[in-house]
Amino acid sequence: MSTEVAIVGVGLHPFGRHAPDLTGMTMGAQASRLALADAGVNWADIGYAVGGSNVSGKPDTLVGVLGLTGVPFVNVRNGCATAGVALATAANAIRAGETDLALVVGFDKHARGAFAASPADYGHAAWYGETGLMVTTQFFAMKDRRYLHTHGLKDRLLAQVAAKAFRCGELNPSAWRRTALSEDEIMGARVINAPLTQYMLCSPSEGAAAVVLARGDRAADLCERPVRLAAVAKRTRRFGSFEVFAPWLPPEAGHSPSVDAARAVFAASGLSPADVQVAQLQDTDAGAEIYHMAETGLCEDGAQQELIDLNETAPTGRLPVNTDGGCLANGEPVGASGLRQVIDIVLQLQGRAGARQVARQPRVGFTHVYGAPGISACTVLTA
Amino acid sequence: MTATAVDPALFSSLDPPRLAGSACASCGTVTFPAQAGCAKCTGTDLARVELADRGTLWTWTVQAIEPKAPYHPPDDGFTPYGVGYVDLGDVIVESRLLGDPAGFEIGMAMRLTLLPLWPGPDGSPVVSYAFEPSGGST
């Protein structure tokens, strides 16, 4: 039987816009210290560390601030899936017997506005960027339009998802956007990439998140209610999936890496999507939350309309999704975003999510990140 | 005045405009632009092919705000532009779109055209490709 891994401490530096001189690294150190304190351990107790940042420096530099203990420290840079990959790396180090206590930290401090990407970084020639095709929000809008069209869903569903995100943000004291907006306000806002308006897209932001992982047999000593990392998996894209930064697609459809990563964690955990009582899905835009519900197996394609009309994805519903407001209400510091998701699920499973606490105490949670150029990481977490 | 391609690898001809891709000798997969390895079967024997110049609109959006660099705006400044994927039968190609977005619909017939970008060193236009509604059915 493989070694159990549990989350025994969490720490979040709130996402949003912060003082210009507050660095991503400093936020990462603060989140790390909060997670260590939550677990009741010291940095010197940590036998393995993994850190992720997309643009704000080399995470292993944090040892200069946290303490030069000689700890092995792996840096991860996998786009929006960074934190999921970091978590998997640390969990595997515990399973491999390298340590019984690990820290995972992610941070980023992004400039305002949409991400700018370099064609060369993604294997494209210069024309792809120069001619205005290499823009992430274009992909989100085009995948949404194709998905809504194929499954007979209405554009208004995008506004319903965004409105739910901001209602959750209102309930979450650490959220960036804490003002509820009506569907009409969201629909009527500035159009960025039709059919997406500004409130249907998450903004790059600043923040940090950290968790402490322990080998299962130590978890109960460190934490009153440890959360079991039942499974974690990461996958890259397959032939035929519609991905960001793709100059071409084959006519034959393939499934996304989210499908593979989700199937892998359900298979490994022995649980099924029907067992999930609270979920975090990559909502880089409102449409992403809609199709990720289906790609991860939480519902059938096209079933989202009824679920969302009935408010089933709100914290009071049958399948609460992104109860902390998700990327839409928190923005996305890329390196930290997936750990924010994990922290929200941990708080829900421990019954300490405050005003957004899911009513019937959940015991099974799920997280999902997706990023360029077609990567995904998922977890199943259990109380 | 002769136009210059923004990247010669994109075209098999500029007049008439035709895109160049590659086809895998083993499994027939067509890519755009041409590439050296097959994404489907991992084969490495790919031959350059000319792509169809007509297809149907598969999905689309409008870029309403100016992208950050490395986007290169036209000399007279940014104006919103259409972007989409056009299904050419054996490959679906991402493209700038010309024409009024109010008329764009998934499934509509499209044809290939040239997209003037900016003046080159000799004053002749540097061009990329675009698709525009062809009015007919394919």
- Give me the pLDDT at residue B1, please: 59
- Give me the pLDDT at residue A301, please: 98
- Give me the pLDDT at residue B92, please: 98
- Give me the pLDDT at residue A363, please: 98
Distance of alpha carbon B97 from alpha carbon A220, whole angstroms: 59
Shortest distance, CA A106 to any CA of chain B (angstroms): 25
B53-81 burial: b if 16+ Cβ within 10 Å, else e:
bebbbbbbbbbbbebeebbbeeeeeeeeb
Query: What are the beta bridge partners of residue B94?
Result: B85
Residue B137 has pLDDT above 80, yes or no: no
Residue of chain B whose Cα is closest to the Cα of A111: B68
Residue A375 has pLDDT above 90, yes or no: yes
How far CA A366 is from CA of A227, A293, A318, A362, in Å, comes to 12, 11, 14, 11
Distance of alpha carbon B74 from alpha carbon B81, whole angstroms: 12
Residue B103 has pLDDT above 80, yes or no: yes
Per-residue pLDDT, averaged over A71-100, amounts to 94
Query: What is the span of the domain harbouring residue B29?
Result: 4-133
Residue B115 lies in a domain: yes
Residue A1 has pLDDT above 80, yes or no: no
Residue of chain B whose Cα is closest to the Cα of A135: B67
| Tokens describing residue A14 | 């709130």
Question: CA angle at residue A195 from A194 to A196, to 5 degrees?
Answer: 85
Residue of chain B whose Cα is closest to the Cα of A150: B106
Shortest distance, CA A204 to any CA of chain B (angstroms): 14
Distance of alpha carbon A209 from alpha carbon A39, whole angstroms: 14
What is the dihedral angle through the alpha carbons of B39, B43, B49, B54, rounded to the nearest 10 degrees?
Answer: -30
Q: Which of A119, A190, A251 sits opposite B92 (nearest CB)?
A: A251
Distance of alpha carbon B38 from alpha carbon B53, whole angstroms: 23
A285-325 pLDDT, tens digit each:
999 999 999 999 999 999 999 999 999 999 999 999 999 99
Shortest distance, CA A119 to any CA of chain B (angstroms): 8
- Give me the pLDDT at residue A343, please: 98
A273-289 pLDDT, tens digit each:
999 999 999 999 999 99
Shortest distance, CA B134 to any CA of chain A (angstroms): 21
Q: List all residues 6 or more positions away from A70 whose beta carbon is below 8 Å from its beta carbon.
A: none
| Tokens describing residue A375 | 């990567």
Q: Are A99 and A48 in contact (CB under 8 A)?
A: yes
Q: Which of B71, B93, B106 sits opposite A130 (nearest CB)?
A: B71
Contacts of A129 in chain B (CB under 8 A): 69-71
Residue of chain A whose Cα is closest to the Cα of B9: A125
Binned at pLDDT 50, 70 and 90, residue A116 comes out as confident
What is the dihedral angle through the alpha carbons of A157, A158, A164, A168, rounded to the nearest 10 degrees?
Answer: 160
Give helix then strand counts, H and E, for chain A: 13, 12
Residue A227: count other Cβ atoms within 10 Å of its Cβ: 23
| Domain spanning A5-112+201-382, CATH class | alpha beta
Contacts of B87 in chain A (CB under 8 A): 251
> A47 versus A83: which is more confidently predicted?
A47
Q: How many domains does chain B have?
A: 1
Residue B138 lies in a domain: no
B91-102 pLDDT, tens digit each:
999 999 999 999
B14-49 pLDDT, tens digit each:
999 999 999 999 999 999 999 999 999 999 999 999
Nearest to residue B87, comparing CAs of A84, A249, A284, A279? A249
Distance of alpha carbon A267 from alpha carbon A272, whole angstroms: 8
**pTM metric for this prediction:** 0.95
Residue B47: count other Cβ atoms within 10 Å of its Cβ: 10
H or E, element range at A382? strand A375-382
ipTM score of the complex? Answer: 0.96
Nearest to residue B17, comparing CAs of B121, B136, B107, B125? B125
Residue B9 lies in a domain: yes
- Give me the pLDDT at residue B109, please: 98
How many Cα atoms sit within 13 Å of A246 on the Cβ side?
26
H or E, element range at A165? helix A156-171
Residue A46 has pLDDT above 90, yes or no: yes
Residue of chain A whose Cα is closest to the Cα of B61: A194
Nearest to residue A244, comparing CAs of A46, A77, A79, A25? A79
Q: Are B83 and A138 in contact (CB under 8 A)?
A: yes
Per-residue pLDDT, averaged over B70-95, amounts to 97
Contacts of B43 in chain A (CB under 8 A): none
- Give me the pLDDT at residue A115, please: 77
How do the domains of chain A map onto residue ranges?
Answer: 5-112+201-382
Contacts of A247 in chain B (CB under 8 A): 32-33, 93-94
Phi, psi of A5 (to 5 degrees): -125, 135
Please count the residues of chain B.
138
Disruptive mutation site among A55, A110, A122, A127 for chain B (greatest number of B CBs within 10 Å): A127
- Give me the pLDDT at residue B136, please: 61
Q: Are A172 and A356 in contact (CB under 8 A)?
A: yes
Shortest distance, CA B67 to any CA of chain A (angstroms): 7
Q: Are A165 and A156 in contact (CB under 8 A)?
A: no
Per-residue pLDDT, averaged over B71-95, amounts to 97
Distance of alpha carbon B123 from alpha carbon A256, whole angstroms: 45
What is the dihedral angle through the alpha carbons of A110, A111, A112, A117, rounded to the nearest 10 degrees?
Answer: -90
Name residues 67-86 of chain B within 8 A of A (Cβ). 67-72, 81, 83-85
A145-202 pLDDT, tens digit each:
999 999 999 999 999 999 999 999 999 999 999 999 999 999 999 999 999 999 999 9
Distance of alpha carbon A349 from alpha carbon A364, whole angstroms: 7
Amino acid at residue number A42:
N
Nearest to residue A56, comparing CAs of A339, A334, A341? A334
Q: Are B108 and B57 in contact (CB under 8 A)?
A: yes
Q: Are A141 and A195 in contact (CB under 8 A)?
A: yes
- Give me the pLDDT at residue B2, please: 85
Nearest to residue A14, comparing CAs of A272, A315, A329? A329
Name residues 100-159 of chain A within 8 A of B (Cβ). 113-114, 116, 118-119, 125-127, 129-135, 138, 141-143, 145-146, 149
Beta-carbon contacts below 8 Å between A and B: 117
Residue A112 has pLDDT above 70, yes or no: yes
Q: Are B23 and A233 in contact (CB under 8 A)?
A: no
Contacts of B84 in chain A (CB under 8 A): 142
Contacts of B128 in chain A (CB under 8 A): 127, 131
A199-214 pLDDT, tens digit each:
999 999 999 999 999 9
DSSP letter assigned to residue B36? S
Q: Are B84 and B131 in contact (CB under 8 A)?
A: yes
| Tokens describing residue A42 | 């010291």
Residue A90 has pLDDT above 80, yes or no: yes
Nearest to residue A108, comparing CAs of A66, A52, A153, A62? A52
Q: Are A41 and A253 in contact (CB under 8 A)?
A: no
Contacts of B71 in chain A (CB under 8 A): 129-132, 134-135
Distance of alpha carbon A114 from alpha carbon A292, whole angstroms: 21
Disruptive mutation site among B30, B60, B61, B91 for chain A (greatest number of A CBs within 10 Å): B61
Binned at pLDDT 50, 70 and 90, residue A7 comes out as very high
- Give me the pLDDT at residue B138, please: 45
Residue of chain B whose Cα is closest to the Cα of A145: B59
